[in-house]
């Protein structure tokens, strides 16, 4: 067994060539293990019921139900209570951010934002700029499902509260290139991270307009994911085929591991996701490849105080680790 700082390839398979994107770490099967949501390059969104794997049922958006006019960049599922309609968001190159409701035989759509039409008042505060650009990625706050983070092709991040009559918008001047992914921390609910084609990964504290951590990966970053068990472990992938594993608590700006995939797989990377149950990551490529890796023991060592602790104590330890990073970064 290898005990070094590395990840181990375990499997790969061809992905559907017709799907432009699917949900990443936030793909939650809508609290029903048989349901999967996908967005497509022709602007359609589809809900699949996989109970019959040989002939899955599906519901598709149509022109009459609000189908997007350009490729769907990402779909993001809401956690719904028993008895509530299944629901998810979609962000598209046509400028629309839409919420979809799954009915028994159809999909219903309600546009949350339209970047092509939304205008802010002239006298906006410094952190409430106009919704310029087009949304490229989306993430739902783990604390409130009416709080959305939107990355755009101009490099900005927008936090939008959808429950108010006039959407409250907070702008983070995040990147110099198109934002490719944004994701909330799984343990510290007010921390999130973003990455972009400007080579940077940035970690943010909600409502603070300067990042608490900036990582330069030396190439366009196309995907990132937080560990489900550690508040400070984050994985990012670059377009040119490298996987980076960071533990911000152990080494704030230096990766624990860099895995190069180009020599073995001639394709550009596109996304990464953590398994919520095992120390495994999934890396997606632009030619339909999906590769699974298992993190070596050195990449998932628990904190010394967490040994033998119950779940509540472990969570407290993880929160303290991130709070320490926040305190040091804010000076």
User: Which pLDDT value is given to residue 63?
Assistant: 87
Distances (CA, A) of 202 to 14, 64, 91: 31, 40, 21
Mean pLDDT, consecutive 10-residue segments, the chain of 331 residues? 45 36 36 79 90 79 90 89 82 93 88 75 47 91 92 94 77 95 96 97 95 96 95 94 94 91 69 92 86 89 82 92 91 62
CB atoms within 10 A of CB 214: 12
Cα gap 180→272, rounded to integer Å: 12
User: Which pLDDT value is given to residue 25?
Assistant: 31
Residue in the block written with tokens 């002239």: 122
Question: Residues with Cβ < 8 Å from 220, sequence gap 6 or more?
Answer: 177, 180, 196, 197, 198, 199, 238, 239, 240
Cβ(115)–Cβ(53) under 8 Å? no
pTM of the predicted model as reported, rounded to 2 decimal places? 0.84
């Amino acid at each position: 067994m290898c005990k070094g700082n590395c990840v181990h390839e375990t499997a790969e398979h061809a992905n559907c060539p017709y799907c432009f994107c699917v949900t990443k770490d936030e793909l939650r099967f809508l609290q029903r293990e048989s349901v999967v949501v996908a967005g497509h390059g022709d602007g359609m969104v589809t809900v699949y019921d996989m109970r019959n794997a040989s002939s899955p049922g599906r519901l598709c958006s149509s022109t009459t139900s609000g189908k997007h006019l350009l490729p769907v960049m990402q779909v993001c599922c809401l956690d719904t209570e028993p008895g509530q309609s299944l629901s998810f968001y979609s962000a598209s190159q046509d400028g629309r951010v839409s919420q979809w409701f799954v009915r028994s035989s159809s999909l219903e759509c309600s546009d949350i934002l339209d970047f092509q039409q939304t205008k802010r008042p002239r006298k906006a505060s410094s952190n409430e700029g106009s919704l310029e650009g087009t949304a490229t990625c989306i993430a739902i706050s783990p604390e409130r499902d009416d709080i959305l983070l939107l990355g755009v092709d101009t490099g900005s991040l927008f936090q939008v509260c959808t429950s108010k009559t006039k959407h409250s918008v907070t702008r983070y001047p995040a990147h110099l290139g198109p934002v490719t992914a944004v994701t909330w921390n799984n343990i510290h609910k007010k921390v999130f991270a973003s990455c972009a084609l400007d080579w940077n990964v940035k970690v943010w504290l909600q409502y603070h307009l300067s990042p608490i951590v900036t990582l330069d990966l030396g190439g366009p970053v196309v995907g990132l994911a937080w560990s489900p068990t550690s508040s400070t472990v984050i994985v990012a992938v670059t377009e040119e085929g490298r996987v980076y594993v960071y533990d911000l608590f152990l080494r704030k700006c230096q990766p624990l591991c860099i895995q190069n995939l180009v020599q073995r797989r001639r394709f550009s990377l596109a996304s990464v996701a953590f398994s919520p149950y095992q120390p495994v990551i999934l890396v997606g490529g632009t030619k339909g490849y999906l590769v699974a890796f298992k993190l070596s023991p050195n990449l998932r060592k628990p904190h010394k105080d967490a040994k033998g602790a119950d779940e509540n104590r472990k969570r407290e330890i993880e929160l303290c680790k991130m709070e320490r990073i926040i305190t040091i970064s804010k000076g």
